[in-house]
Chain A
Amino acid sequence: MSGDGEAGLRLELSPAQREARQRCRDFVAEHVAPHAAGWDRAAQLPDAAIAELRRRGYLGAHLARELGGGGVDPITYGLLTEEIGRGCSSLRSLLTVHDMVGEAVRRWGGARLKAEALPGLARGERLAALALSEPDAGSDAASVETAAERDGDGWVLSGRKRWITFGMSADLFLVLARCGGQLAAFLVPAAAPGLGREPIAGVVGTRAARLAEVTLDRCRVPAHHLVGRVGFGLSHVFSTALDHGRYSVAWGAVGIAQACVDACLGYTASRRQFGRPLAGHQLVQRKLTEMIVNTRAARLLCLRAGYQRAQGAPDAATETLIAKYFASRTATRAANDAVQLHGANGLSQDYPVERYLRDARVTEIIEGSTQIQQIAIASCPPGEL
C-alpha cells in the first residue's frame, strides 16, 4: 500500500470519455449495426456510411485539433473503436487503416508533406490505406519486392500490393518499398500516373472493406513524399503505423467479443430447450461466463495499453501487442462459442454471430498474426506493472 493514502492504480473512465462512448454507441445503434449484415452480404460499404463517419469526426479522431482532427486521447479513441467494431468490423477497419497512415505521416513525415497531407487526413476528406502486403510478402514484411528508385527530383515506384483494405477508395497510400538494399516508406496519391487498382472479391471476413490489389507501374512521386528516411521504412515508419493499427484492431476485437456477449445473453434468455431457457443450463452458463470474463480482461488490457500510450511510455508498444494478441484471440473464441450457442441458427445469416466469427478471424491475421505476436512478445516482454 502507498503511504500517502492514495489507492494508486485507477482504471475509471472520465465523464468526458463516458459521454464520447455513449454518443458513439447511439450512432452505431442507429446508423451502423442495423445495416452491417446487409453491407456484409453486398460486400460493399456505402459512401453514405463513410460520409457519416467523416461528419461526426471519427476519421482522424486521434490527430490534433489544430490539424482538423478530433484531438481525442488514446483511451477515448479506443472506446470509439470498440463501439464501431461492435457494430461493423468493415467500418472499423476503415478507421484502422486510415488512422495508421495518418499516424505514420504525423510521426515521421517531413514538414512539407505533413503540411500538405495531414489536414485532409485529419478531417477525413482524403482517405488513406496502408500498402504493405504483396503476393509474396505477408508476415515477412521485410521481403517486399516493390522497388523505389531515385529519379531526378522524385521517386519512381514499381510493384504490386495485395490485400489492401479500402484500397478501392483510398486517395493516398502509404507504400513500403525496397530502395537498393534498404526499405523506405512513401506516401503515394491514388491519382499518381501509373497507379492502378482492382477489387478483390470473395473474402471471408470484413467483406465490405473494399479490398484491392494495387499496381504501381513506374509510379512517380515528389521527393518529399518519402516518409522518414531510406532504411527506416519498416523499422520506424511502418512500425509506427502497425503499432497504431494493433491498438485499433485490439479495441475492434473487444467490440466483436462484446457483440457476441450481447447476442448470446439475449438469445440464451429467450430460446428454450428441455423445458427452460438455454441460459438455465450449466454448460451454457460456462460458455457465457468465459465469454464475459475474457471480454472484460481484453478490455482491461486495451485500457492499460491506452493509458501507456497517453503517457508516452516506452512499454506502450509492447502493452499494445499484448492487448491485440489477447483481444483478437478472445474475439475468435467468443464468436466460435456464440455460433455454438446459437446452434443451427448460428450458421444462418438470420443471426449476426456467423459474421462475428468471420470478422474475428481477420483480427488474428492483420497487423501481425497471432503467431508473429507470440514471437514478438516473448522477445520484448514488458516491464513490471
Chain B
Amino acid sequence: MNDVQSRIKSFLSRFFRQHDLQSDEDIFALGFVNSLLAMQLVTFVEKEFGITIEDEDLDLANFRTLAAIDALVERKRAPRAAAGAGAGAGGAAAG
C-alpha cells in the first residue's frame, strides 16, 4: 500500500472501526458508507491531495477501493504535473 492509499485508509479507519481495510477491498460492500461519509471522503481527498473532484469524476468505480481512489488522485494530478513540467520554472503548480 503506497502513501496515498495509507492516508486514505487512515482517514477511513475512523469510520471503519475494527476493520483492517485492504487496498482492493470494496468499501461500499462493507456497509459503512452513507451519504455523509461519501461527501466527507470527497472533501478529504480534495484537501489532502490538492485536487478538485468534478461532476464528471462522479463514478462509483473511482471511489470503490483504496486503489481506485489512488488512481483517481493520480489522474487528477497528472495534467497539472505535465503543465508544470512544460512551464519549466512553473513547477510549483504541479503540487
Give chain A's interface residues, CB within 8 Å of chain B.
108-110, 227-229, 231-232, 234-236, 239-240, 243, 312-318, 321, 376, 379-381, 383
Give chain B's interface residues, CB within 8 Å of chain A.
11, 14-15, 34-44, 46-47, 55-56, 58-60
Q: How far is the CA of A258 from the CA of B14 in the complex (A)?
A: 35
CB closest chain-B residue, reference A232: B58
**Are the C-beta atoms of A234 and B35 separated by less than 8 Å?**
yes
- Complex contacts, B41 vs chain A, CB 8 Å: 314
Instruction: Tell me how far the C-beta of A382 lies from the nearest C-beta in chain B, rounded to whole angstroms.
Output: 9
Q: How far is the CA of A339 from the CA of B35 in the complex (A)?
A: 38
Residue in A313, A379, A380, A383 whose Cβ sees the most chain B Cβ within 10 Å: A380
Query: In the complex where A108-B58, A229-B59, A231-B60 touch, is A239 in contact with B44 (Cβ < 8 A)?
Result: no
**Are the C-beta atoms of A236 and B58 separated by less than 8 Å?**
yes
Which of B46, B47, B55 lies in contact with A229, CB distance below 8 A? B55
**Are the C-beta atoms of A380 and B43 separated by less than 8 Å?**
no
**Are the C-beta atoms of A313 and B35 separated by less than 8 Å?**
no
CB closest chain-B residue, reference A230: B58
Instruction: Tell me how far the C-beta of B51 lies from the nearest C-beta in chain A, rounded to whole angstroms.
Output: 12
Q: How far is the CA of A321 from the CA of B8 in the complex (A)?
A: 23
**Are the C-beta atoms of B58 and A228 separated by less than 8 Å?**
yes
- Complex contacts, B11 vs chain A, CB 8 Å: 314
Q: How far is the CA of A380 from the CA of B44 in the complex (A)?
A: 14
Residue in A235, A236, A383 whose Cβ sees the most chain B Cβ within 10 Å: A235
Instruction: Tell me how far the C-beta of B69 lies from the nearest C-beta in chain A, rounded to whole angstroms.
Output: 13
Instruction: Tell me how far the C-beta of B34 lies from the nearest C-beta in chain A, rounded to whole angstroms.
Output: 7
**Are the C-beta atoms of B38 and A235 separated by less than 8 Å?**
yes
Instruction: Tell me how far the C-beta of A231 lies from the nearest C-beta in chain B, rounded to whole angstroms.
Output: 7
- Complex contacts, B60 vs chain A, CB 8 Å: 231
**Are the C-beta atoms of B43 and A316 separated by less than 8 Å?**
yes
Residue in B14, B44, B58 whose Cβ sees the most chain A Cβ within 10 Å: B58
Instruction: Tell me how far the C-beta of A224 lies from the nearest C-beta in chain B, rounded to whole angstroms.
Output: 11
- Complex contacts, B59 vs chain A, CB 8 Å: 229
Query: In the complex where A229-B55, A231-B60, A376-B34 touch, is A312 in contact with B40 (Cβ < 8 A)?
Result: no
- Complex contacts, B42 vs chain A, CB 8 Å: 236
Instruction: Tell me how far the C-beta of A104 lies from the nearest C-beta in chain B, rounded to whole angstroms.
Output: 11
8 example contacts (A-B, Cβ-Cβ < 8 A) are as follows A229-B55, A229-B56, A236-B39, A239-B36, A240-B39, A314-B47, A379-B36, A380-B40
**Are the C-beta atoms of B34 and A379 separated by less than 8 Å?**
yes
- Complex contacts, B47 vs chain A, CB 8 Å: 312-314
- Complex contacts, A229 vs chain B, CB 8 Å: 55-56, 58-59
Instruction: Tell me how far the C-beta of A131 lies from the nearest C-beta in chain B, rounded to whole angstroms.
Output: 18
Instruction: Tell me how far the C-beta of B15 lies from the nearest C-beta in chain A, rounded to whole angstroms.
Output: 7
**Are the C-beta atoms of B40 and A318 separated by less than 8 Å?**
yes
Query: In the complex where A312-B47, A380-B15 touch, is A228 in contact with B55 (Cβ < 8 A)?
Result: yes
Which of A227, A231, A314, A376 lies in contact with B44, CB distance below 8 A? A314
- Complex contacts, B39 vs chain A, CB 8 Å: 235-236, 239-240, 243, 317
CB closest chain-B residue, reference A308: B43
Q: How far is the CA of A381 from the CA of B36 in the complex (A)?
A: 11
Q: How far is the CA of A231 from the CA of B61 in the complex (A)?
A: 12
Which of B34, B55, B56, B58 lies in contact with A380, CB distance below 8 A? B34
- Complex contacts, A234 vs chain B, CB 8 Å: 35
Instruction: Tell me how far the C-beta of A8 lies from the nearest C-beta in chain B, rounded to whole angstroms.
Output: 21
Instruction: Tell me how far the C-beta of B31 lies from the nearest C-beta in chain A, rounded to whole angstroms.
Output: 11
CB closest chain-A residue, reference B44: A314
Which of B36, B43, B44 lies in contact with A321, CB distance below 8 A? B36
Q: How far is the CA of A314 from the CA of B40 in the complex (A)?
A: 5
**Are the C-beta atoms of B55 and A108 separated by less than 8 Å?**
yes
Given contacts A232-B58, A312-B43, A312-B47, 5 further A-B contacts (CB under 8 A): A234-B35, A235-B39, A236-B42, A312-B46, A380-B34
Q: How far is the CA of A243 from the CA of B34 in the complex (A)?
A: 14
CB closest chain-A residue, reference B15: A380
**Are the C-beta atoms of A380 and B36 separated by less than 8 Å?**
yes
Instruction: Tell me how far the C-beta of B52 lies from the nearest C-beta in chain A, rounded to whole angstroms.
Output: 10
**Are the C-beta atoms of A376 and B36 separated by less than 8 Å?**
yes
Instruction: Tell me how far the C-beta of A87 lies from the nearest C-beta in chain B, rounded to whole angstroms.
Output: 31
- Complex contacts, A236 vs chain B, CB 8 Å: 35, 38-39, 42, 58
CB closest chain-A residue, reference B47: A312
Residue in B34, B55, B59, B60 whose Cβ sees the most chain A Cβ within 10 Å: B55
